[in-house]
Chain A
C-alpha cells in the first residue's frame, strides 16, 4: 500500500496566504462612482424678469436632440461620431472664420498671451430624448474639450494634462474654458 509520506511543512502556508491577501488588496478596487460632473445654472430670482443674455449668433453652437434621438447641429443633421470634430473646430476657430466664435486675446499666467474663444455650446433636448443619447452627446462634447486641453498641455508644458500641477491645469482650463450651456427646458417637437 501507500508508503508513509512525510508530513507537509505548513509553516509557509501563512506566508502564502498573506501574499495572496496583499495581491487582492492591490489589484481590487472599491467600486468608485464615476460620472460626468456638471454645474447647473442657478434658478433665476422669482420677481426679476429674466432677460435673455444676448449671445452673438456666431458665438453659439446649437446642439439639438429630438425625440427620436436625431442630432441637429447648427441647423444641420449630423451623426454623433462627427460631433466631436465639429465641436473642436467650433471652439478653436483655427482659421479665424467670421462665422465661427470671436477670439479674444487674454493674458494667462504661465502660458502668456493667447486667443481665447468666446464660443458657447448650447445643448437642447426634447422631453422624449432617451437619457442614453443625451449622455452620448454630453460625452462627445466633454471629449472635445478634453482633447483640446490635452493638446494645449502638450504644446505649452510638454506634459500630459493629468501630470500638470494644479496651477498649470488652471491655466489650461482658462485658455480653453468649458462652456456647455444646458438651455432652459423647452418642449420642442412634441412628445
Chain B
C-alpha cells in the first residue's frame, strides 16, 4: 500500500492556526474576579478598542478567595484595587492615549450581575470626579423574548 501523501498537512495546520488566531482574542488582563454579565437586548457595540478602558467588579475567583474573601471587589488592570485608585487609573489611561483621542475615552464597566448597586454608584461617582463621563455597562446580548 503506498503511503498517503502528507503534502497538504501544512495547509491543514495553517488552517487551524489561522482559525484560532481569528476566533480568540488576546486578553491582556488575567481575570481575578468572576464577572457574569447581565443580559440586555438593546446593547450597542463598543467600536474602537483602543479608546476603551475596563473596570471589573465581581466576587474574587476561587484561587483568590482565601485572601480577598467573596465580597465583590474592583479589579483594575492586573490587581485588586479600591475606589480611591480609580482616579489614578483613569488619568494613567488618559496619558497613554493620543491627545486627540482623550475626550473619547470610554469606560466599560464589567460588573457581575449579583453585585449590589452601592459599589456601582460609588464607582460612577469616582468616574464623574475623574470626568470620565462616557461609560458603557457591559452586557451580554440576548434577543427580546
Contact = CB atoms under 8 A, between A and B. Distances in A.
**At the interface, is chain A mostly helix, strand, loop or mixed?**
mixed
A64 to B, nearest CB: 12
A42 B117 contact: no
B4 interface: yes
Contacts of B129: 43
Contacts of B141: 34
Contact of B116 (A8, A32, A39, A129): A129
A142 B11 contact: no
Interface stretch (A51-59, A101-109, A112-120, A132-140): A132-140
Given A18-B11, A43-B128, A138-B137, A131 B117 contact: yes
Contacts of A139: 40-42, 139
A32 B15 contact: no
Interface stretch (B62-70, B73-81, B92-100, B118-126): B118-126
For chain A, the bracket of interface size reads 35 or more
Interface of A: 2, 4-5, 7-8, 10-11, 13-14, 17-18, 20-21, 24-25, 28, 30-43, 125-132, 134-136, 138-139, 142-143, 146, 182, 185, 191
16 contacts: A5-B1, A7-B5, A10-B8, A18-B11, A21-B15, A33-B108, A33-B136, A34-B140, A37-B46, A43-B128, A126-B117, A127-B118, A129-B116, A130-B114, A130-B115, A143-B41
